[in-house]
Amino acid sequence: MTRQYFGTDGIRGTVGKPPITPDFVLRLAHAVGRVLKRTEARPTVLIGKDTRISGYMLESALESGFNSAGVDVVLLGPLPTPGVAYLTRAQRASLGVVISASHNAFPDNGIKFFSAHGAKLDDAWELAVEAALEESPVWADSAALGKTRRLDDAAGRYIEFCKSTFAHDLTLKGLRIVVDGAHGAAYHIAPKVFHELGAEVVAIGCAPDGMNINDGVGATHPEALIEAVRANRADFGIALDGDADRLQLVDSRGRLFNGDEVLYLMVNERLARGEKVPGVVGTLMTNMAVEVALRGKGVEFVRAKVGDRYVLEELEKRSWLLGGEGSGHLLALDKHTTGDGLISALQVLQACVRSGKSLAELLADVTLFPQTLINVRLTSGQDWKSNDLLKTETAAIEAELGQTGRVLIRASGTEPLLRLMVEARDAAQAEACAQRLLKAVKG
The model's pLDDT over 427-439, given as tens digits with 9 standing for 90+, comes to 999 999 999 999 9
What whole-number percentage of the chain has pLDDT above 90?
89
Q: Above 90 in pLDDT, residue 307? A: no
Model pLDDT for residues 232-273, shown as the tens digit of each residue: 999 999 999 999 999 999 999 999 999 999 999 999 999 999
CA 332 – CA 330 distance, rounded (Å): 7
Distance of alpha carbon 184 from alpha carbon 97, whole angstroms: 17
Active-site annotation holder among 54, 100, 102, 327: 102
pLDDT at residue 259, rounded to an integer:
95
Task: Return d(Cα 324, Cα 248) in angstroms, integer.
Answer: 13
pLDDT at res. 392: 95
Task: Name, in order, each residue with C-beta under 8 angstroms of 294's C-beta and a sequence gap of 6 or more.
Answer: 264, 267, 280, 300, 301
**What φ, ψ does residue 152 adopt, rounded to 5°?**
-70, -30
Q: Give the per-residue pLDDT at 1.
A: 60
Domains and CATH numbers, the chain: 11-153 (3.40.120.10), 172-255 (3.40.120.10), 258-362 (3.40.120.10), 371-442 (3.30.310.50)
Integer-rounded Cα radius of gyration of the chain: 22
102 is a catalytic site residue:
yes
Residue 129 contacts residue 35 (beta carbons within 8 Å): yes
Mean pLDDT calculated for residue range 94-98: 98
7/391 Cα distance (integer angstroms)? 25
CB-CB contact of 204 with 190 (8 Å): no
For the beta carbon of residue 23, count every other beta carbon within 10 angstroms: 11
Q: Is pLDDT of 88 > 90?
A: yes
Q: Is the pLDDT of residue 414 over 80?
A: no
Q: What sign for the dihedral angle of Cα 245, 251, 257, 259?
A: negative
Asked if pLDDT for residue 362 goes beyond 90, the answer is yes
In this prediction, residues 362-379 reach a mean pLDDT of: 92
**Separation between Cα atoms, residue 370 and residue 365, nearest integer Å:** 16
pLDDT of residue 292: 85
- 10-32 average pLDDT score: 97
Question: pLDDT band for position 177 (50/70/90)?
Answer: very high
Q: What is the mean pLDDT of the chain?
A: 95
Asked if the bond preceding 191 is cis, omega within 30° of 0, the reply is: no
Widest CA span of the chain, in angstroms?
Answer: 69
Q: Phi first, then psi: what are they for 19, rounded to 5°? A: -95, 5
- Does the pLDDT value for residue 50 go beyond 80? yes
Q: What CA–CA distance (Å, rounded) separates 19 from 389?
A: 34
CA 294, 299, 304 angle in degrees (round to 5)? 80
Cβ neighbors of 53 (< 8 A, separation 6 or more) are 106, 210, 211
Residue 335 has pLDDT above 90, yes or no: yes
| C-alpha span between 289 and 197 (Å, rounded) | 33
pLDDT at 8 over 80: no
Order of strands across the sheet that contains 256-257: 200-204, 176-180, 236-240, 247-251, 256-257
